[in-house]
A and B are shown apart, each in its own frame.
Chain A
Amino acid sequence: MTARVKSLQSVNDFVIKFANVNGTGSASANKLFAKALFRMGLPVCPKNIFPSNIQGLPTWYEVRVSEKGYLGRRGGVDIVLSVNPQSMAQDIKEIEPGGYFIYDNTKPLDLRLIRNDVTMMGLPLTRICNEQYKDPRQRQLFKNVIYVGALAALLDIDFAVLTALVADQFKGKEKLILPNIHALELGHKYAKENFDCPIGIRVQKSDKVGDKILIDGNTALGLGALYGGASVVAWYPITPSTSVVDAFEKYAKRVRIDPGTGRKNYAIVQAEDELSAIGMVIGASWNGARSFTATSGPGLSLMSEFLGLAYFAEIPTVLFDVQRAGPSTGMPTRTQQSDILSAAYASHGDTKHVLLFPSTPKECFDMGAQSFDLADRLQTPILLLTDLDLGMNDNMSEPLEWDDSKEYDRGKVLSADELDKMEKFGRYLDVDGDAICYRTYPGTHPEKGAFFTRGSSRNEMAVYTEKGEEYEENMHRLMAKWETIKEYVPGPEIILCGKEADAAVLYFGTSEESSREAVDYLADEGVNLNAMRVRAFPFNKEVENFIDEHERVFVIEQNRDAQLRTLLMAEFELGPDKLKSVLCFDGTPISARNIRKQILQLLPGNNVTPLYPEKVASGAGDKA
């Protein structure tokens, strides 16, 4: 079974892909694998690539291991662990020359699938399970654990780390610990006895993890909302955003129960649809509670009308959009950054909305909490845009932190005392000159401060008007407020390459890791690029200056239509030549190799010869 091409050799630097059938319990075994490497001090980046289905279809779990700490997708696969005959032909094709194919050989492999440039390694997983277990469910579940055990031997994973993880995982269900460890041992033993262990690709302990955590963005976002003080949650189930509310509820049940009465200091309403969900958020926010909804593209479309109301009536509104591949139902379990334009300009009429683009779980937490301060301060919808990749995959992240001395910014809300001292209250009077007006909550004062909120035009005193000049005045003020907003939203993160560079990359959200890796590849090839990560819309002056300072800017994004580029062009009135698009929209997270390749093609005259084209383009390790 030895390959004719030299087998890939690398330590702590490879991509492995698990090919499973969904609904067979593979997810927890695969996570066990990734977490074991993480506990060995190795930066890992696991990605679930799964179908919109509950049981029976192919599903994959790709783990990037990178001692250098690259956490995006690299591109290419070095090892495939295959237990799904349905996808086997495709899975074998994807392997890099010199890679490894580990498969269940209980049934003989179709000879036509054998590649002579790949090491083919058979594990009789079904046979071992059939011999060991009688219960069909056990046969299925333990098959996954057995291959993790085998991989421990093949890749030299610390077995003690695995057993400790199993003990953690089944805390409270102790009787499951020993059977799982037994299954790990079965695989381990078989691999040791039948193969030269370890194979060319292996791991060893490292110290590149520090105090980082493995967490999915949705959990971090749910926690952010909890810390940000949300008390009314309204939502409609939709992949991939559902687990945001699940996480909020899980922790709220622990920490938001009134100790005296046992009652809840929060309310979660599962709405009948997304229209209703956003309506509830607007109603709750209007009434002075912090409130949010979580959704994805189709939900955002349904919420558009209400977003226009919230913009025009100036009601704080927090919406988390975990983007997926559209349009329409699209690919609901695949990732994209394709709601940028529909979010930025959601609703009919002249509207513009604040967007936040977190790129790590830590930022999901921080910006999730910050959304409520921004909404209250700016009295407008805040749309935080993450995506399936960040939301549903475990990401290595800085630990979550909360500054206990921080106080919520509830914005310009008048109390009864303040109303008493005022001569005149007008809901839409720009008293401070920042175009943000004072609001009141219902029930505050017996005589003063009541006003009529409406989506139809009104004057500064909130009285209905159809006078053109009053309407225009209000729309101008909303534009002035847009300028104020730029002072409040997070600015970009700029990374200068330290050398003279007339070109730069610009990216946001989950394109960050792969973009930075691609910039490193290109630097080694003599292409110097500065980099900027945009973190919010409206873009502030720093974004504009950065673009001005470069001749060419490669805008990297995960959609077909170059939506962020369109937004930049529209807002800065830029010509089309300056901003070049680097795109990926196949539903999988953008990879570093893909970005590198596209940028090379876009370089003027395409006259830069890559120094290591082949090595970078294939094989384990980025430049091994």
Chain B
Amino acid sequence: MSYQKPKFRHPDLAVNELGFTKADYEGSLSTLCAGCGHDSISGSIIRACHELSIPPHKIAKLSGIGCSSKSPAYFLGKSHGFNSVHGRMPSVVTGAAMANRDLLYLGISGDGDTASIGMGQFAHVVRRNLNMVYIVMNNGCYGLTKGQDSATADEGSVSKKGDPNLFAGIDLAGLALQLGATFVARSFSGDKEQLIPLIKAAMTHRGFAIIDVISPCVTFNNNPESTKSYEFFRDHAEATGTVDFVPMREEIKTRYPAGSTHEVTMHDGSVIRLHKTSQHLDPFNRVSAMRVLDEHRIKGDILTGLIYLDKNSQELHDVMQTSQRPLNELSEDDLCPGNRLLKNINAALR
């Protein structure tokens, strides 16, 4: 970057329980296009982490390649980051999470990075139920290479180039459901009211949490004929409901009438409160979630909000029965069996 981000902050910025202001969760100045949806998502991530009072160094942010994957540089500057290889972020996170189960892993990917080159790794990280938050900044096009259609572009959607997309789009939320994801949500970069609680909920979920965030590309794919444009989204989005996130430390004061509201206690004791507006969706039932999602897709509508949550999720470390102590903390005494064992092994090989 050729210019500096201003260091000045309002002296009255709110501090969280750790004494950090929102600025402590910011990163370097974004180099994305002005008005890019991805920057709004970065803003929501910053707010979610600040409000959850997560120590920034306990988060590791990882990404693949593309506009989306550049964005981890623009938030959480006090966290370690890893901008890896195109489509391969899931494997790097898997290794990292195996090495240290105590960090919060935030994976940032795009639609090209996830639904095309990274499809294989995406499918398998879902299947393994790795304990991570996976945010797709989904704009239906390849921004960094100037606007080619991506695999999430809907059939018939027209980008700035003017040619309708010839192939069916991949619905990442639907795919994740089919693959066994234990937390599936969809949101919109411009809807912080919806996105921030979803990010918080995803961060407290134990297992694989995906949020497919529609994030219009203002430069190449924001014309009205595109199904990933602001305009199209405004006209076609339907929310499953709203989500409140109540951190574990806060007392739950308000009570809602039964039926329309579900309270789910997350692994760390936080509660997410789901106010349903869709009568048909049971967000704790995978089949219901798949059906409702499909119905919307067929109508050409975009279902947003929390779509599915598995309350009994077992993440990869639980399944593999790995040590509670992070593997990267094990000492040589824990790891090396010593020469005595070798003597026995040698004896058996004579």
Contacts and interface: CB of A to CB of B under 8 A. Distances in A.
B50 to A, nearest CB: 15
Contacts of A269: 94-95, 98, 128
Contacts of A227: 336-337, 342
Interface in B257-292: none
Given A232-B98, A306-B85, A446-B56, A275 B1 contact: no
Interface of B: 1, 28, 55-58, 60, 62, 72-73, 77-85, 88, 90-100, 102-103, 120-121, 123-124, 128, 317, 320-325, 327-328, 330, 332, 334-339, 341-342, 345-346, 349-350
Contacts of B85: 279, 305-306, 309, 455
A400 interface: yes
Interface of A: 38-39, 211-215, 223, 226-227, 229-232, 234, 251, 255-256, 258, 261-267, 269, 271-273, 275-291, 305-306, 309, 399-404, 407-408, 440-447, 450-456, 463-464
Nearest to A456: B83
A289 B330 CA distance: 9
A301 to B, nearest CB: 15
Given A275-B91, A276-B90, A283-B82, 7 more contacts: A234-B95, A265-B330, A269-B128, A276-B91, A279-B84, A285-B99, A443-B80
Given A275-B88, A404-B339, A453-B81, A464 B95 contact: no
B21 to A, nearest CB: 14
Nearest to B327: A231
B95 A291 contact: yes
A263 B322 CA distance: 5
A265 B327 CA distance: 6
B322 A264 contact: yes
Contacts of A453: 80-84
A255 B327 contact: no
Nearest to B55: A446
A287 B328 contact: yes
B338 A276 contact: no
B342 A402 contact: yes
11 contacts: A215-B349, A229-B336, A276-B94, A276-B124, A283-B82, A283-B96, A287-B103, A442-B57, A442-B103, A446-B56, A450-B56
Most-contacted residue by chain B among A264, A289, A399 (CB, 10 A):
A289
Contacts of B341: 251, 255
A211 B347 CA distance: 9
Nearest to B120: A272
Contacts of B317: 267
Contact of B58 (A283, A408, A443): A443
Given A283-B92, A287-B60, A276 B121 contact: yes
A223 B90 CA distance: 28
A261 B321 CA distance: 10
A258 B92 CA distance: 26
A290 B94 CA distance: 14
B100 A442 contact: yes
Contacts of B99: 231-232, 283-285, 287-289, 291
A123 B254 CA distance: 90
Contacts of B88: 275-276, 279, 306
Nearest to B320: A267
A464 B27 CA distance: 13
B323 A443 contact: no
A452 B56 CA distance: 14
A281 B80 contact: no
A45 to B, nearest CB: 15
A276 B120 contact: yes
A543 B97 CA distance: 42
B97 to A, nearest CB: 8
A455 B69 CA distance: 12
Nearest to A290: B335
A446 B1 CA distance: 25
A258 B96 contact: no
A288 B98 CA distance: 10
A256 B58 CA distance: 27
Contacts of B346: 211, 213, 399-400
B99 to A, nearest CB: 3
B100 A464 contact: no
Nearest to A230: B335
A453 B69 CA distance: 12
Contacts of A281: 95
A400 B345 contact: yes
B91 A279 contact: yes
Contacts of B322: 263-267
Contacts of A265: 322-323, 327, 330, 334-335
Contacts of B320: 264, 267
A271 B91 CA distance: 8
Given A213-B349, A454-B83, A404 B98 contact: no
B121 A279 contact: yes
Given A401-B339, A443-B58, A261 B93 contact: no
A471 to B, nearest CB: 16
Contacts of A403: 339
A258 B323 contact: yes
Given A263-B324, A455-B84, A443 B100 contact: yes
Most-contacted residue by chain B among A211, A229, A231 (CB, 10 A):
A231
B15 to A, nearest CB: 15
